[in-house]
A = this chain, B = another copy of it.
Amino acid sequence: MEPSTVLVQAEALKDFCRQIFVHLGETPANAATITDVLVAADLRGVDSHGVARLGFYVEKIRLGVIHPNAPYQIVHEAPATALLDAGAGMGQPVSYRAMEMAIEKANRCGIGCVTVRNSNHFGIAGYYAMMALEAGCIGVAMTNSAIFVVPTFGRDPMLGTNPIAVAAPAGAERPYVLDMATSTVPFGKLEIYDRLEKPMPLGWAADENGAPTQDATRVIHNMHSAPIRGGLTPLGGDGELLSGHKGYGLALLVELLSGVLSGALTSDQVYPVTASGEHLPAGLGHIFMALQVEAFRPLVDFQASLDDLERRLKSAPKAAGQDRIYIHGEKEFEQAERRERDGIPLNRKVWDEIVKIGAELGLQFPK
């Protein structure tokens, strides 16, 4: 059912992508960070946010939306907070630095919070949240994005998929890693139903009248038209019956914290294009937080409590027909272990595009 795949080892993929980003103007250090974030997505099974995005980044660099190797600036700083301006650079290096700063501040003050404006797509939010784990911190990362989500009772998309990622360090058990879009499903799920030409479940998306629809092909067509109408529902679906207004509220919360607090553009404003067709910097915003567990209680006690809670949840009685209760991040850790060992199965089209991008830069994937 899936198109054919090419099996690639993570390290080889990282090496190749690093070279591509260096050729596109990034420093080796920045290129390594960008690549690590991208391949982490592929390892964890979030294929939509991995090297499949390489073409997207290359296009944005060529359009002038992304300025490679742009220096970030610290705009404001307080003991536990900072605001960075990413200078329209790639989202990953500035986000990595912002999370490092949040952790440093948490080590000094108990909690740290760093927002970023004038940035670009930063990859998977979970990567930055997980940076906190080794420091014994709880990590939080959020970002706004291009518009996809229709507010409750609305017709048009006004909010991004605006993900929330939180990671917390366990002891013997796996860390808790929530990394969720605040839409019911990601856009990629609609693309799967479109390819299969099957009706998608009701509650995932709204048509051009803002009405619930099972027609994935139609929604995708609408999302690629101008003006864009309809789109993804917020978590909880259409209307208020299953509390779609809560998902809408969470999407707006992420918008507030990553877009408005940082002074970035909001999801309905990002990726601006002038009347004459010139592409301006994307203007995305992010927020990163770290809570130093030791400021509240000994880390070993916290880890023991989280281990116990995870075990009680996993060993709790199952619903009829189910044999497993998951902790958030568990599936992704298992996937990453498999793919570290066996290689990453890249979609043939994705693979072909990476090879083509490399070839245009005079690079060949090592045999």
Residues of A at under 8 Å CB distance from B? 76, 78-83, 105, 108-113, 115, 138, 150-156, 158, 166, 168, 176, 178, 180, 184-185, 201, 203-204, 206, 209-211, 235-238, 241-243, 245-250, 252-253, 255-257, 260-263, 266, 268, 289, 291-293, 295-297, 301-302, 305-306, 309, 312-313, 316-320, 322, 324-328
Across-interface contacts of A153 in B (CB, < 8 A)? 318-319, 322, 324-326
Please name the 4 residue pairs, one residue from A and one from B, whose CB atoms are nearest each other, closest first: A210-B319, A81-B110, A78-B110, A80-B109
**CB-based contact B256/A113 at 8 Å:** no
CB distance from A312 to the nearest CB of B (A): 6
Q: In the complex, which residue of chain B has the Cβ closest to the Cβ of A178?
A: B249
Contact of A110 among B80, B203, B252 (CB under 8 A): B80
Contact of A152 among B211, B247, B297, B326 (CB under 8 A): B326
Across-interface contacts of A322 in B (CB, < 8 A)? 153-154, 210
**CB-based contact A263/B210 at 8 Å:** no
**CB-based contact B246/A319 at 8 Å:** no
Contact of A151 among B291, B295, B316 (CB under 8 A): B316
Across-interface contacts of A293 in B (CB, < 8 A)? 261
Distance A109 CA – B81 CA, assembled complex (angstroms): 7
Distance A318 CA – B230 CA, assembled complex (angstroms): 10
**CB-based contact A151/B313 at 8 Å:** yes
**CB-based contact B263/A305 at 8 Å:** yes
Distance A111 CA – B156 CA, assembled complex (angstroms): 35
Across-interface contacts of A105 in B (CB, < 8 A)? 80
Q: In the complex, which residue of chain B has the Cβ closest to the Cβ of A263?
A: B297
**CB-based contact A111/B81 at 8 Å:** yes
Q: Which of A78, A105, A138, A260 has the most CB of B within 10 A?
A: A260
